[in-house]
Amino acid sequence: MLADLVRHHAQSIVLGILVICGGTVSTYVFTYMTTYAITTLHLSAAVGTTLTLMGSPAQIAGFALGVWLDRFGRKRLLVLSRLLFLAIMYPAYTIITSPDATVGGIVAINMMLNFMFGVGIGPMYAFLSEAFPQSVRSSGLGIVYALGVTIFGGSTQFVVAWLIDATKNPMIPAWYQIAANIVAIIGVALMASHSETVEGGGPPVPRVRPSRGTGPLVET
């Protein structure tokens, strides 16, 4: 089954990893915010912890909105939500890194970023699963997630911390997320649902129509 997955669905695997790239990079940046607040913004540990804690309910609220918006078109939602996320990223970090930024403002902006990010989380995984037929769907999604998170997510905090130290630029988390989410948007744009899911649900189910005197007649 694994050989069949790689042989026939390599394109979906590669594009799926690109889609995962944006989500996993931003996830690991958000969990890095405590360290970032302490070491780069020179805020207290209490403020740093608050940033991460308050980001979680904001993501949950965004997730709930994304589930509701999913009915209007999953691919469109993923592209638009990521474009909005990119649009607010640079100005958000400009404010966060400003010497005049207040603690309340930093927390509020971080929550806004988490909320906007959360809108696309649920639909993203549904979108990825639809790229594979039912016979390899679980293994396809598992491989895409495992490789995407391992390659991009697992290295995010190390790379971001190294780049901040090397460049002395506190805007690195913003630029890194912008790059990763541009890659994710490209992946979403190029990825198509598998033919089994286009009409909403897998292979056709036979219809049974009674036939006079000869038993049931199966139609497909």
Residues 105-160: tens digit of each pLDDT: 999 999 999 999 999 888 898 898 888 888 788 888 899 999 999 999 999 999 99
Spatial separation of the C-alpha atoms in residues 33 and 44, rounded to whole Å: 12
- Percent pLDDT > 90 in the chain is 66
With cut-offs at 50, 70 and 90, classify the pLDDT of residue 212: low
Spatial separation of the C-alpha atoms in residues 70 and 57, rounded to whole Å: 20
Residue with tokens 């460049």: 167
Spatial separation of the C-alpha atoms in residues 19 and 80, rounded to whole Å: 14
Domains along the chain with CATH numbers? 2-193 (1.20.1250.20)
Phi, psi of 215 (to 5 degrees): 85, -175
pLDDT at 53 > cutoff 50: yes
CB burial string 169-200: b at 16+ within 10 A, e below: ebbbbbbbbbebbbbbbebbeebebbebbeee
Per-residue confidence (pLDDT) for residue 122, from 0 to 100: 84
pTM of the model: 0.83
